Amino acid sequence: MLHVRVISPADRADEVVRIVTACRAATHVVRLPGAALAPPGDYIEFDVAREGANDVLAQLRELGLEESGGLTVEPLDLTMSAAADRAEAAAPGDPDDAVVWAELTARTAAESRMTWAFLAFLTLATQIAAIGALLDQPILIVGAMVLGPEFGPLAALCFAALRRDVRQAGVAVRTLVVGFGTAIAVTLACAAVSRLLGWITPDMLGARPLTGFIVHPDRWSFIVAVLAGAAGILSMTAGKSSSLIGVFISVTTVPAAGNIAVALALGHWGEVGASFVQLGVNIAGMLVSGTLTLAAQRALWSRYGPRLAPARPESLRRGA
C-alpha cells in the first residue's frame, strides 16, 4: 500500500474526495477542512494499493494540485486493516508488479543529477577497481562494482528514452560522462604518482588469470549487461532495491574505468582500447534492455490498468 497526503484548495477539495472515494483501490480516506496552512487549504489523506495508484494520482494532478497545493506519496511497510485488504483485492495483479510512474519519474530525476556524492562514490569505486586490476584480486573488483553508483543515471536515461525526454536524457548523459571522466582522471593521477614512487610497474598488468575478463569483452559481456539492465529496471519499479546489488556485480563498467586509468599510467595502450570497448558494451546492453523493459511494463499497464480507473469527474471530461 501507498500513503498519499494531499493539500488542496478548498474549492477543489470536494473533487479530490470524489476522485479518491470512487477508486476501488483506495481506502482510509481522511479530510480535515482548512487544516493546511502553507499552502492554505484542506488536508486530505488516504491509502491506495500500488496497482491503483497511477490512475488516482493522474486525476489528482489534472486538478492542478502540484501548483496550488501538494501531493506526497510514501510506501507503507505494514497495514493491518480489512478495508486495506479489500482495496488490494480490488486491484488486479500483485503490488510488486505495479509500476507507479510518478514515483519512477521522481526517482530517476533525482538519481540522474550530478552531485558531489555521486562523483565521490564513482571515483572511490574506480580506484578500488584499479587496485583490484593491478593486484589481480577479484574480491576488490566485486567491491568496486557494488560501490559504483552509475546505474542511477543509466536508469534515468532509459526512462528518458521511453518518454522522449531530451532534457532528462541530456542530464543523465552529462552525469555519466563527467562522472566517469572525473573518476578516470583522478585514478590516472593517483596511478601516475604511484608509478613515480615505484609502487606499481607495467608488468603488474601482465598475466591476470582472475581479472583478465575486464579487457576481453565478447558476446557474453553484452548478454550479461542486457540481463542486468532488465533486472535493474525491474528492481527499481518493483521497489526491490536489494536486487540492485546483483545488478551492480553483474557488469564491469566501473572495473573497466579503473583499468583504463592504470593502463594509461603504465602505457598498456591495448588494454586502454579493450577497456573502453568493455565499458561501451556494458552501457549499451543495459540501455537497450532497460528501455525495452520499461516499454513492456508500460504496454502491459496500458492494457490492464484501465480496469481500475475510477469514473472521471464531469468537469474533467468537459475539459474544465
CB atoms within 10 A of CB 192: 16
Residue 291 lies in a domain: yes
CA angle 273/268/124 to nearest 5° reads 80
Q: Specify if 318 maps to a domain.
A: no
Query: How many domains does the chain fold into?
Result: 2
- Examine the domain organization and report whether 211 and 81 are in the same domain: no
Tens-place pLDDT, residues 43-70 = 999 999 988 888 899 999 999 998 999 9
Whether residues 182 and 295 fall in one domain:
yes
In a domain, 200, yes or no: yes
**42 and 131 share one domain:** no
Q: Does one domain contain both 112 and 38?
A: no
pTM (2 decimals)? 0.81
Please state whether the peptide bond connecting residue 92 to the residue before it is cis, i.e. omega within 30 degrees of 0. no
Task: Give the HSE-up count for residue 293: Cα atoms under 13 Å, Cβ half-sphere.
Answer: 25
CATH of residue 38 = 3.30.70.260
Nearest one of 125, 159, 126, 152 to 291, comparing CA atoms: 159
The reply to whether 309 falls in a domain is no
Cβ contact 109:163 at 8 Å = no
Query: Are 209 and 136 spatial neighbours (Cβ–Cβ below 8 Å)?
Result: yes
Query: Could you tell me if 88 and 109 lie in one domain?
Result: no
Structural domain that includes position 61: 2-94
**pLDDT of the residue at 311:** 44
The residue from 94, 118, 137 where one domain ends is 94
Whole-angstrom distance, CA of residue 307 vs CA of residue 314: 19
Q: Is residue 139 part of a domain?
A: yes
Q: Is residue 18 part of a domain?
A: yes
Q: Are residues 110 and 83 in the same domain?
A: no
Distance CA 4, CA 283 (A): 36
Pair 58, 183 in one domain: no
- Share in percent of the chain as helix, strand, coil (round to 5): 70, 10, 20
Q: Are residues 119 and 60 in the same domain?
A: no
- H helices present in 136-201, as ranges: 138-147, 151-163, 166-196
Residues of the chain with pLDDT under 50: 306, 308-320
Tell me what pLDDT residue 50 has. 87
Q: Which residue has the cell 532509459?
A: 158
- Asked, for residue 202, whether it belongs to a domain, the answer is yes
Beta bridge partners of 75: 2
Look at residue 252 and tell me if it is in a domain: yes
- Separation between Cα atoms, residue 186 and residue 182, nearest integer Å: 6
pLDDT at 314: 45
Distance CA 289, CA 166 (A): 19
205 closest CA partner among 285, 133, 309: 133
148 and 53 within one domain: no
Domain match, 63 and 82 both: yes
Task: Look at residue 73 and give its three-state secondary structure.
Answer: strand
Shared domain check, 166 and 86? no
* Same domain? 221 vs 88: no
